[in-house]
Structure 1
Amino acid sequence: MKKINKYIVALGMLAMVGCADDFLDTAPITDTTDESFYQIPEHAYSALVGCYDGLQVVTGASGRTFYTASEVMSDDCFSGLGYSDNPDYQAIDEFDMSVAPAFQDLYNDTWVKYYQALYRCNVLLQRIDQIDWTGNEDLRNRYVGEARFIRAYLYFDMVRLWGNVPLLTEPSTENIPQADPADVYTVIAEDLLYAAENIPNEAYTEVANGRATRWAAKAMLGRVYLYYTGYYGTSDLVGLVSQADALAHMEDVIASSGHALVSDFANLWPAASTNEDGTTYAGEANEEIVFSVKYTYTSDYNGNTDGNHWMVLFGMREFMSFPYGNGWGITATEKLYDLYSDGDSRRFATVIAVDEEGIPFDNFEGQREYTGYYNKKYTPMSAYDEAGNLVSTTQILATGDFQIEQYQDYFAIRYSDVLLMAAELGSGSAQSYFDQVRQRAYGNNFTPLAFNAENLLKERHKEFALEGIRYWDLMRQGVGTAAAELEESTTVLTGNIEETKSISGANFQTTQGLSQIPNTQITLSGGVLQQNAGW
């Protein structure tokens, strides 16, 4: 009888009550076996919560996560961080290990967490039919659909980041080689198609906040289709999803999901919607969020990793100025700030502009690659305590450890993305969908702009900057196009001294935009795993 590995598949327990409750992990169950655990539907539910917990841990982890890599590799951010910090993020930013030759495992912890999360999904999917589902077949299919959505989400991150990964669809300890990416995408497509068909046809308001819906699966199918066909130059998604199919899924989300745009773009983001008079934040469960990853401020150093640990990396370097909190200083680029026109409300909501906002930032000597700009969508927050002192919001809500207690949800898919994907996929309403997104951004400054491929990509850049999307939008335009956009030579301040920040398009092309396979994993595999080019 095989024990469930306590480290890999600790199962979360949660009681969900009503549509407003968050779908989050609590105390784990560990002392059980695969065979004895799956006896009643409640056991499958508990295991499903464990799958969500695995997704939360891998996406919210500290260090080099998928989100941080996506932003640092893009043209919207530099690696930044501290003047004396290790140059590991610079290696990622510049696609060049020569700047950090000692770092042979840029992503080992991330790799391990992904396979831990996948293991949870695979155990549930393997064991769920040990339960008698007579009379509860729809519930069984829902649980399977949600687990398969999570597995697809995980594999889509992995196959984009590394390109060549071992493919496991059931629990295994075998030392297997990397799969052809097409095989991984086949599993992703099959999982999402199943989820889109079997998760109930409910409005988003009827589902617990943070739980995968039919609409999230359909929206993700559009994203996967566009990336795969763009990066790999194919006409369909591994023969399973055509352009017409992908469009039909987007149109269904638009027509039937109940999702809509929040009226004010700034209200999507806590920092952009907060001022001395209060906040107009639309909240974590607002109508625009098709799928989010949930976080709380209950993290500690004893194994509870419930927080958004990467967010602290994007805050201003060791500096607070209301409503912005203390952080480690990954910088946004001046190129991103200049992308927006004065009439575009997304500029203010997206970028912390130090000089333009009159922020008295003074930690130039502690900051690497200072540009004067930081991420506003995902930044730590500050507030005034009862004594009038400016403190981290984590100090008011929890213990005050701003490093692990950041709790802002990650909005993985927004409704505006569905509108723009539908337009890109050839909807007869393409101009209308395009206009809806732009009208919100420009308000009274809105002037019509013809919908075409070039304008669409520019609009996607402005709409989704600093949301972990831009880099992958570049990649799906082709490696050559992406290289030209990413190539950079500009002046930044490091330790308050001017230096030239350079990013080589040639280095990017050598790697094909893929990231380093952890060398520890290659060693552990006995050379079965192979390193990606350029690393």
Structure 2
Amino acid sequence: MAYLSIINHLENDSSIIMKKNIIQSSLTIGKYLPFALLLSLTSCKDSFLDVPPQGQQPSEQFWKNEGDATKAVNAMYANLRSWNNTAFAPMAVESIASDDTEKGSSPSDATFFNKFDTFTASASEGQIGDFWKGQYQSINYANQVIDNIPAISMDENLKTRYIAEAKFIRAYCYFRLVRAFGDVPLRLSLAQDAAAYNLPRSPKAEVWAAIEKDLKDAASILPQTYGATDIGRATKGAALALNAKVAMYQKKWSEVVALTKQVMGMGYSLFPNYEQMFRIPNENCSESIFEIQCKLILGNAAASNSQYSQVQGVRGSQGGGWGFHVPTQDLVNEFEEGDPRKDATIIFRGEITPQGDVIPATGDNPMYNQKSYVPFSLFISGYNEGADQNIRVIRYAEVLLMNAEANNELGNTADALASLEMVRARARQGNNAILPKVTTTDQALLRKAIYHERRVELAMEFDRFFDVIRQGRGAEVFGKKGFKTGVSEVWPIPQNEIDLSAGVLKQNTGY
């Protein structure tokens, strides 16, 4: 089945300090196991990889030792930054339909994005198929680790940790799938033949339960922190924070409070400067709970494969980016007067960035995403612009906002206000003339304030669309764009997957 691709990417690691895993190679399950493993250098907060090139390895000789286990786990992480996981497909499926973002670029470029903006994307739209494929490919990597590593004779503590890391990644991918499609095929082990991959869709309640089990298992094993060579791997805090988000989507408010309180006691803190938090020197900072690690490798453009920042970068002139996934005026209007996060989130045409880049005063787009921005001085001809930029997945600020939302829903007003104020105080950056403290004790008004804070704090971070859906406000917020209640809460199952399944997979209602 295409949705459980047998094409894989494997990477290796070493003990050299302050390296980042950015290598890419492929494994075809069957006769050969090729590896293209490349050297990388990075900053003092970067992570876990540095190896020379190696050749092909027959798959029957793989899964034999600790080195094989390490290669497979690093490959699983590497796939998270792939095109289908971080570029056009997730922008289409997870963000463009919201009121925060629109297509961008030139009017005639990649017009398929407009179908997502107007809720007219069909089951045959390629970005839907690519998103599905990207998630199941990562799930397949995780399942290989979970199924094969137990039989390897290796350090037992490392073995259990690797399996826990794989469960976190699998849970993360199923989380993305279930909120995008609802019921999805639940594959929790490798099939022994192609026919066994042809699974029907499991009810979303079962998928949520499987995600929760993986995250609970992972949190019981994963460490709170790593040494310098392993920064960027999934931690206990990452598993707890993602589990809190999973509980929030299901309105399990008591669980959200319990899980976020655990994370709040683990030493994370809000980075003092909101704009600087998203810059390369501050990757994996005190606020970071989980980031996808990316790197530009001099001498190997193919391995510098992250295009997350490139496709969103300032279009034209020195910018070098493609100009997609840009902010809307509606998002601009949401920010309160004087909120520094507006200028830290949005690059406006004609401005000079804090890093000194002059943004052209004319062009196709009046605004760009500043959170994915990489200074033009770091661009190197022949490489993807911004390939160094890590992708922030879970931040401590979101944990605080989840805690605030859950406490408000439970009637714990004081606790909700306290967590909300922590986020606003950081945004205020000492200027008490802006962003006044929220003091309302009315549950509905406080809920509205928390929804607002999530929108401005997490803007352009691929949550707004699904936040509105889980809040039951789809028609209210997106109705003018073409949202249809009972249909548009999820996207269609890719038609190609239905065809390949010979009808085992059934389509979502209304598509």
| TM bucket normalised to smaller | 0.7 to 0.9
Which of 400, 404, 411 is the aligned partner of 1:419? 400
Paired residues for 1:134-283 under 5 Å? 136-172=155-191, 173=194, 174=196, 175-200=198-223, 202-203=224-225, 208-229=230-251, 236=252, 243-256=253-266, 258-270=267-279, 282-283=281-282
Match of residue 44 from structure 1:
69
Which of 447, 453, 456 is the aligned partner of 2:447? 453
Distance 2:228 2:418 in 1: 28
Deviation at 1:182, TM superposition (A): 1.2
- The answer for unaligned runs of 5 or more in structure 2 is 27-32, 35-55, 353-357, 441-445
Match of residue 14 from structure 2:
15
Q: Is the aligned partner of 1:326 residue 2:321?
A: yes
SS at match of 1:185: helix
SS at match of 2:136: helix
Report Cα offsets for 1:279-316 as digits up to 9, x if no partner. xx6511211111001112249999x4653324333234
Deviation at 1:6, TM superposition (A): 10
Which of 309, 312, 331 is the aligned partner of 2:310? 312
Deviation at 1:408, TM superposition (A): 1.1
Deviation at 1:400, TM superposition (A): 4.2
Match of residue 531 from structure 1:
507
Indicate conservation of the 8 Å contact 1:311/1:378, yes or no. Answer: yes
Go from structure 1 to structure 2 and tell me whether the alpha carbon gap of 1:359 and 1:299 turns closer, same or farther (over 3 Å shift): closer
Q: Is the aligned partner of 1:487 residue 2:496?
A: no
What TM-score, normalized by structure 2, do the two folds share?
Answer: 0.82
Distance 1:58 1:359 in 2: 26
SS at match of 1:411: strand
Go from structure 1 to structure 2 and tell me whether the alpha carbon gap of 1:16 and 1:423 turns closer, same or farther (over 3 Å shift): farther
Count of residue pairs brought into register by the alignment: 459
Indicate conservation of the 8 Å contact 1:196/1:214, yes or no. Answer: yes
Match of residue 382 from structure 2:
399
Go from structure 1 to structure 2 and tell me whether the alpha carbon gap of 1:505 and 1:129 turns closer, same or farther (over 3 Å shift): closer
Distance 1:9 1:299 in 2: 24
Distance 2:123 2:471 in 1: 33
Indicate conservation of the 8 Å contact 1:299/1:305, yes or no. Answer: no
Indicate conservation of the 8 Å contact 2:335/2:342, yes or no. Answer: yes
Distance 2:509 2:129 in 1: 17
- The answer for unaligned runs of 5 or more in structure 1 is 230-235, 237-242, 271-280, 384-392, 489-502
Report Cα offsets for 1:43-86 as digits up to 9, x if no partner. 2222111211222226655432x244322111101223322224
Indicate conservation of the 8 Å contact 1:62/1:309, yes or no. Answer: yes
Go from structure 1 to structure 2 and tell me whether the alpha carbon gap of 1:207 and 1:470 turns closer, same or farther (over 3 Å shift): farther
**Identity across the alignment (%):** 27
